[in-house]
Structure 1
Amino acid sequence: MYMDYRVIKENDLFLLTDLSGNISENNCGHGLYTKDTRFLSRLALKINGADPNLLESEADQNYISEIVLTNTATQVDGKVCLWPEALEIVRTRFIYKDVMYETVKMTNFNPHKDKFELSILFDADFQDMFIVRGFQNGKVGKKSGVKQYDTGFEIGYDGEDGVARKLLVEWDEKPARVEITENGVEVTFNVTLEARDKKSVAFYVMPIIGNCVPVRYPLESAVESLRASYTDWEKGSTKVESDLPMFNNLYDRGLQDIRVLLTDLGYGRFPVAGLPWYAVPFGRDSIIAALQLMSIHPEIAKGTILTMAHFQGEKVDPWRDEQPGKIMHELRSGELAGTGNIPFTPYYGTIDATPLFLVLIGEYVKWTDDSALLKQMIPHIKRALEWIDVYGDRDGSGFVSYFQESEKGIANQGWKDSGNSIVHRSGEYAKAPIALVEVQGYVYQAKSTLSQLFGTLKLKPETTDWSGWSNALKEEAEALRIRFEEKYWVESDQYYALALDEEQKPVETVTSNTGHVLMSGMIRGERAAAIARKLVDKELFSGYGIRTMADGEIAYNPMSYHNGSIWPHDNSVCLMGLNAQGFHKEAVIVMEGLLKAGEHFENNRLPELFCGHSSERGKPVRYPVACSPQAWAAATPLMFVQVMLGMRLDYTGRQIILEPALPTGMNKLSVSRMRLGDGFMNVEVQRRNGVFTYQVLANTTGWTIGGSASFTMEIR
Structure 2
Amino acid sequence: MNYRVIKENDLFLLTDEKGDIVGNHPYELGLYTRDTRFLSSFKLLINGETPVGLHSDGGENYRSRILLTNPHQEDENGLKLWRESIELERNRFIQDGVLYETIKATSYFPKQVSFTIALEMDADFTDMFIVRGFQNGNTGTRQDTTFSSNGMNFTYQGADDIARSTKIEWNEPHKEVREGYVAFEWTLDHKQSKEVTVTIEPLHDRESSKVEEPQKALAALHQSYDEWNRKLPTVSTDLKELEQLVKRGTDDLRVLLTDVGFGSFPVAGLPWFGVPFGRDSLIAALQLLPFNAEVAKGTLKTMAHYQGTKVDAWRDEQPGKIMHEIRYGELANTNQIPFAPYYGSVDSTPLFLMLLVEYVNWTGDLELFKELQENVKRALKWIDEYGDRDGDLFVEYHQEASKGIANQGWKDSGDSVVHRNGDYARSPIALSEVQGYVYQAKTGIASVYRTLGESIKAQELETAAEELKAAFNEAFWMEDIGFYAIALDEHKKQVGTITSNPGHLLLSGILTEERANRVSAVMVSDEMFSGFGIRTMAVGEAGYNPMSYHNGSVWPHDNSMILLGMGKSNHQEEMKTVVQGLIDASKHFEYSRLPELFCGYNSSINKVVPYPVACSPQAWAAGTPLTFIQTLLGLFPDSLNKKIQLQPTLLPGMNELQVDNVRIGNGILSVEVTRQGDKLAVKITENTTGFEIDQFSIITAS
TM-score range, shorter-chain basis? over 0.9
Aligned residue among 538, 547, 557 for 1:559: 547
Structure-1 separation of matches of 2:138 and 2:268: 28
Structure-1 separation of matches of 2:62 and 2:260: 19
Query: For residue 606 of structure 1, what is the aligned residue in structure 2?
Result: 594
TM superposition shift of 1:612: 0.3
Amino acid across the alignment from 1:706: D
Aligned residue among 386, 391, 395 for 1:391: 386
Query: For residue 61 of structure 2, what is the aligned residue in structure 1?
Result: 62
Structure-2 separation of matches of 1:610 and 1:405: 31
Query: Which segment is superposed worse, 370-379 or 207-216?
Result: 207-216
TM superposition shift of 1:701: 0.9
Query: For residue 662 of structure 1, what is the aligned residue in structure 2?
Result: 650
TM superposition shift of 1:440: 0.0
TM superposition shift of 1:651: 5.0
Amino acid across the alignment from 2:24: N
TM superposition shift of 1:45: 0.4
The answer for unaligned runs of 5 or more in structure 1 is 459-465
TM superposition shift of 1:653: 4.1
The superposition leaves residues 95-126 of structure 1 with CA deviations (integer Å, 9 ceiling, x where unpaired) of 00000000011110111111000010110000
TM superposition shift of 1:78: 5.3
**2:634 is aligned with 1:646:** yes
TM superposition shift of 1:491: 1.1
Query: For residue 461 of structure 1, what is the aligned residue in structure 2?
Result: none
**2:323 is aligned with 1:291:** no
Amino acid across the alignment from 2:285: A
**2:466 is aligned with 1:478:** yes
The answer for unaligned runs of 5 or more in structure 2 is none
Query: For residue 594 of structure 1, what is the aligned residue in structure 2?
Result: 582
Q: Assess if the C-alpha contact under 8 Å between 2:361 and 2:640 holds in 1.
A: no
Aligned residue among 359, 367, 375 for 1:364: 359
Q: How does 1:5-404 map to 2 (within 5 A)?
A: 5-27=3-25, 28-77=27-76, 79-180=78-179, 185-404=180-399
Amino acid across the alignment from 1:608: E
Query: For residue 434 of structure 1, what is the aligned residue in structure 2?
Result: 429
Q: Assess if the C-alpha contact under 8 Å between 2:23 and 2:29 holds in 1.
A: no
* Closer/same/farther in 2, CA of residues 483 and 146 from structure 1, 3 Å limit: same
Query: For residue 579 of structure 1, what is the aligned residue in structure 2?
Result: 567
Structure-2 separation of matches of 1:692 and 1:323: 51
The superposition leaves residues 61-92 of structure 1 with CA deviations (integer Å, 9 ceiling, x where unpaired) of 11110010010111121511210100110100
Q: What SS does structure 1 have at the residue aligned with 2:372?
A: helix
* Closer/same/farther in 2, CA of residues 228 and 570 from structure 1, 3 Å limit: same
* Closer/same/farther in 2, CA of residues 493 and 530 from structure 1, 3 Å limit: same
Q: Assess if the C-alpha contact under 8 Å between 2:639 and 2:665 holds in 1.
A: no
Query: Which segment is superposed worse, 402-411 or 523-532?
Result: 523-532
Q: Assess if the C-alpha contact under 8 Å between 1:97 and 1:215 holds in 2.
A: no
Q: What SS does structure 2 have at the residue aligned with 1:230?
A: helix
* Closer/same/farther in 2, CA of residues 308 and 42 from structure 1, 3 Å limit: same
Q: What SS does structure 2 have at the residue aligned with 1:392?
A: coil
The superposition leaves residues 11-48 of structure 1 with CA deviations (integer Å, 9 ceiling, x where unpaired) of 00000000000011334410000000000000000100
* Closer/same/farther in 2, CA of residues 521 and 212 from structure 1, 3 Å limit: farther
Q: Assess if the C-alpha contact under 8 Å between 1:37 and 1:126 holds in 2.
A: yes
- TM-score, normalized by length of structure 2? 0.98
Q: Assess if the C-alpha contact under 8 Å between 2:140 and 2:159 holds in 1.
A: yes
Structure-1 separation of matches of 2:697 and 2:352: 35
Q: What SS does structure 2 have at the residue aligned with 1:622?
A: coil
Identity of aligned residues (%): 52
TM superposition shift of 1:493: 1.6
Q: Assess if the C-alpha contact under 8 Å between 2:364 and 2:639 holds in 1.
A: no
TM superposition shift of 1:689: 1.9
Structure-2 separation of matches of 1:353 and 1:148: 47
TM superposition shift of 1:652: 5.6
Q: What SS does structure 2 have at the residue aligned with 1:697?
A: strand
Q: What SS does structure 2 have at the residue aligned with 1:484?
A: helix
Amino acid across the alignment from 1:483: A
Q: Assess if the C-alpha contact under 8 Å between 2:322 and 2:343 holds in 1.
A: yes
Q: What SS does structure 2 have at the residue aligned with 1:213?
A: coil
Amino acid across the alignment from 2:597: L
Amino acid across the alignment from 2:653: G
Query: For residue 487 of structure 1, what is the aligned residue in structure 2?
Result: 475
TM superposition shift of 1:711: 6.1
- TM-score, normalized by length of structure 1? 0.97
Amino acid across the alignment from 1:9: K
Aligned length: 699
Query: Which segment is superposed worse, 682-691 or 119-128?
Result: 682-691
Structure-1 separation of matches of 2:17 and 2:117: 19
Q: What SS does structure 2 have at the residue aligned with 1:706?
A: strand
**2:495 is aligned with 1:507:** yes
Structure-2 separation of matches of 1:326 and 1:691: 48
Q: Assess if the C-alpha contact under 8 Å between 1:659 and 1:711 holds in 2.
A: no
TM superposition shift of 1:138: 0.3
* Closer/same/farther in 2, CA of residues 251 and 104 from structure 1, 3 Å limit: same
* Closer/same/farther in 2, CA of residues 179 and 302 from structure 1, 3 Å limit: same
Query: For residue 636 of structure 1, what is the aligned residue in structure 2?
Result: 624
Amino acid across the alignment from 1:535: M
**2:674 is aligned with 1:679:** no
Query: For residue 535 of structure 1, what is the aligned residue in structure 2?
Result: 523
Structure-2 separation of matches of 1:524 and 1:14: 46
Query: For residue 463 of structure 1, what is the aligned residue in structure 2?
Result: none
TM superposition shift of 1:395: 2.1
Structure-2 separation of matches of 1:559 and 1:78: 55
Amino acid across the alignment from 1:269: S
TM superposition shift of 1:525: 1.4
TM superposition shift of 1:640: 1.1
Q: What SS does structure 1 have at the residue aligned with 2:543?
A: coil
